[in-house]
Chain A
Amino acid sequence: MTTASPARTAQRGVRRLGDRVFSGTAVGAGIVILLLLAAVALFLITQSIPAFTVDPEDVSILRGQSFVEYVGPLVFGTIWAALLALIVAAPLAIGIALFISHYAPRRIASVIGYVIDLLAAVPSVVYGLWGATTFAPIVRPFYVWLNENLGWFPLFAGDVSATGRTILTASLVLAVMILPIMTAICREVFLQAPRLHEEAALALGATRWEMIRMAVLPFARGGMVSAAMLALGRALGETMAVTMVLSVSGVISVELLTSTNPTTIPANIALSFPEAYGEGVNVLIATGLILFLVTFAVNALARYIVNRRSAFSGAN
């Protein structure tokens, strides 16, 4: 024992200077990220405190409303637009992902996957420009048709906007924007479904859809939900598409086709920020803080679902 101990201490004792400097730098970089995030939260909070205490009469953008009255319609509009986008995008994304993973020939599938990845990179301002000038006039006839035939339904009631730039158009553009990311995640999950289960289902005489419903979808449920949540988080924070497409009036309304539409928090910040001054800036930053908290909650929930799923998927 006495002969072994010096060798062991020598082994442990060698901590070269280079190693210490390098690992120190790496740890430092990690800590910088933590500090950065803490700074984001801290700055947003300190900058938004004046917004809660300020006299509404002193701030021009509040137009005499209290902060809660000002922010209520914005929160409603943000969630409403994002939910509409998700309702449209989710079935489509699952359909495309299934098409790529289980229906399309392999060579075509890889090309489509590549195209979808490229589309995820198209800047949001381009989607906004396209939505406002090209897409809105195209969908307007469909809005007129919906209004004439289903006008008794509250969502489609009211007078159809003359420009087509309504909350539904904004949500549809948002849906197009979140399609690529949702499709990409769903495709990954579908491709991971156990091959043996699929082949067993087909061998027992199941049709392709029965195979998908029995072997693929149950396996992919968690992944699909988390893809939807991540897409929702993206739709909540998306700014330019809504800013450029929507003609805003800042009310709470569920009518999808009229020219009086609720607006969203990010769009409101982008529109009002250049002209804001004094406490007006603080009010806008406070709305940004609310947005941050909402997206944080949605994303955290998505991560939680993913992690819970990965704990059980080892069963295969």
Chain B
Amino acid sequence: MSAITRANPLTAGRLPRWANLAVFAAAAVVFGVGLGLTAAAERADFPVPAFVITTVLGYLVLLVVLSRVVEGPRRARDRLMRNLVVAAFLLALTPLISLIVTVVGRGAARFDITFFTESMRNVTGEGGGVLHAVVGTLEITAAATLISVPIGLLTAIYLVEYGRGWLARAITFFVDVMTGIPSIVAGLFAFSLFLLLFGPGSRMGLSGAVALSILMIPVVVRSSEEMLKLVPRDLREASYALGVPKWRTILKVVIPTAIAGISTGVMLAIARVIGETAPLLITAGFTQSMNYDLTDGDMMSLPVFVYNSYISQGVDAQAYIDRAWAGALTLILIVMLLNLLARLVAKIFAPKLGR
């Protein structure tokens, strides 16, 4: 039956589906054997970097040449770009996977009960924990949230409900500017503010909270603004039609409708600033002891703890490195938890607008 053996007209002149894989395997085998033989001849180790680079380049060149011959130049280019896009994706994925694997793997060594129930007071070798840093992080972040959420939310309400003219435009512009402030500059600002208010040597948790709220306010404004804009006009107009004043409409209709989105935004903002190191290093300083008072003396925080354990390793360097990794793991877990929580809130409490 000639009809069966004849090529399918729709797939004629195309490379088969397994072509990519076959070409890649061929390139890997050719360069692997070639480099392996050269290395063996010179009694050297197998050159991994050369193997990776030549295999990938060889694969791309071979595939394009093959595709050009069989499929023509347009399809060859399409194939090249598709492979480059996938390669970019895989290339970007490797460091990220490596990061997660390393943090979990090396952080697990000291991720124990002692780590969360003790401070670093009088600890020079093994043992010790991050209780002081966890307390500091929680207090500083809570204070920063208390400062930024009222300011941010009210500003968003102003921009959406009242804002007209130059003032609204100026605020929008400067909130954009604030988004781009480097975290260390926020730290320098808080430092010089407290230098002016309390004199030299006044490092305290509150100063760190001010620095963090500089970074947090624009995020809160942006996300709340987006959420308030999503509230349908009909709801507001129905409320006005019933004779409800504007401020009660905002408090009782607009904000309750948007509250899920607003709290999601606030949680994401917290997740963003809770890992900030540089401003806290400058403003809150570091200490090895417990300090519950935001207004009195240096206060440790989790990111600064990680940084400090790495930068100034003591006599028993491994103990310090282990603690740094465990601290990093804790930090990542907190951030991931906040993110997941934020998404859950958004999903569960999302308003049913019934469109």
Q: Is A122 an interface residue (CB 8 A)?
A: yes
In the complex, the number of residue pairs spanning A and B with C-beta atoms less than 8 Å apart equals 264
B214 touches A40 (CB 8 A): yes
A33 touches B92 (CB 8 A): no
Report if A292-B181 is in contact (Cβ < 8 Å); known contacts: A95-B89, A99-B85, A240-B278: yes
Q: Is B248 an interface residue (CB 8 A)?
A: yes
Quick one: which of A289-305 are within 8 Å of B by CB?
Answer: 291-292, 295-296, 298-300, 303
B171 touches A34 (CB 8 A): yes
A103 to B171, CA, bound (A): 40
Please choose the segment from A69-77, A133-141, A192-200 that sits at the chain B interface, where 4 or more of its residues have CB less than 8 A away.
A133-141
B184 touches A36 (CB 8 A): no
Q: Is A61 an interface residue (CB 8 A)?
A: no
A296 to B177, CA, bound (A): 7
A32 to B246, CA, bound (A): 23
Q: Is B217 an interface residue (CB 8 A)?
A: yes
Q: Is B306 an interface residue (CB 8 A)?
A: yes
Please choose the segment from A2-10, A21-29, A160-168, A248-256 that sits at the chain B interface, where 4 or more of its residues have CB less than 8 A away.
A21-29
- Min CB distance, B163 to chain A, in Å? 8
A34 touches B174 (CB 8 A): yes
A176 touches B155 (CB 8 A): no
Q: Is B75 an interface residue (CB 8 A)?
A: yes
Q: Is B324 an interface residue (CB 8 A)?
A: yes
A129 touches B175 (CB 8 A): no
1/0 contact string of B195-215 vs chain A (CB within 8 Å) = 110000000000000000010
B335 touches A296 (CB 8 A): no
B81 touches A209 (CB 8 A): yes
Size class of B's contact patch?
Answer: 35 or more
B278 touches A18 (CB 8 A): no
> Which chain B residues border A66 with CB–CB below 8 Å?
none
A207 touches B74 (CB 8 A): yes
A292 touches B159 (CB 8 A): no
Closest chain B residue to A299 by CB distance? Answer: B180
Q: Is A204 an interface residue (CB 8 A)?
A: no
Most chain B beta-carbon contacts within 10 A, residue among A43, A127, A300? A43
> Which chain B residues border A299 with CB–CB below 8 Å?
176-177, 179-180
Please choose the segment from A52-60, A151-159, A267-275 that sits at the chain B interface, where 4 or more of its residues have CB less than 8 A away.
A267-275
A119 to B189, CA, bound (A): 28
A94 to B158, CA, bound (A): 36
> Which chain B residues border A34 with CB–CB below 8 Å?
170-171, 174
- Min CB distance, A174 to chain B, in Å? 12
Closest chain A residue to B173 by CB distance? Answer: A303
Q: Is B151 an interface residue (CB 8 A)?
A: yes
Report if A32-B151 is in contact (Cβ < 8 Å); known contacts: A266-B182, A273-B282: yes
> Which chain B residues border A273 with CB–CB below 8 Å?
281-282
- 9 A-B pairs (CB sep. < 8 Å): A16-B247, A22-B250, A26-B155, A40-B185, A40-B214, A47-B188, A270-B278, A273-B281, A288-B184
Show the binding face of B for A, using Cβ within 8 Å: 47-50, 53, 74-75, 77-78, 81-82, 84-89, 91-92, 95-96, 98-99, 102-103, 150-155, 157-159, 161-163, 167-168, 170-171, 173-186, 188-189, 192-193, 195-196, 214, 217, 221, 245-248, 250-251, 268, 271-272, 274-278, 281-282, 285, 303, 306-307, 310-311, 321, 324-325, 328, 331-332, 335-336, 338-339
Besides A29-B152, A36-B217, A210-B78, 12 other CB < 8 A contacts? A22-B251, A31-B167, A40-B185, A47-B188, A92-B91, A96-B88, A121-B335, A132-B310, A142-B53, A237-B181, A237-B182, A244-B307
Show the binding face of A for B, using Cβ within 8 Å: 16, 18-19, 21-23, 25-34, 36-37, 39-40, 43-44, 46-47, 91-96, 98-99, 103, 112, 115, 117-119, 121-130, 132-135, 138, 141-142, 144-145, 176, 179, 183, 207-210, 212, 230, 233, 236-240, 243-244, 266, 269-270, 273-274, 284-285, 288, 291-292, 295-296, 298-300, 303
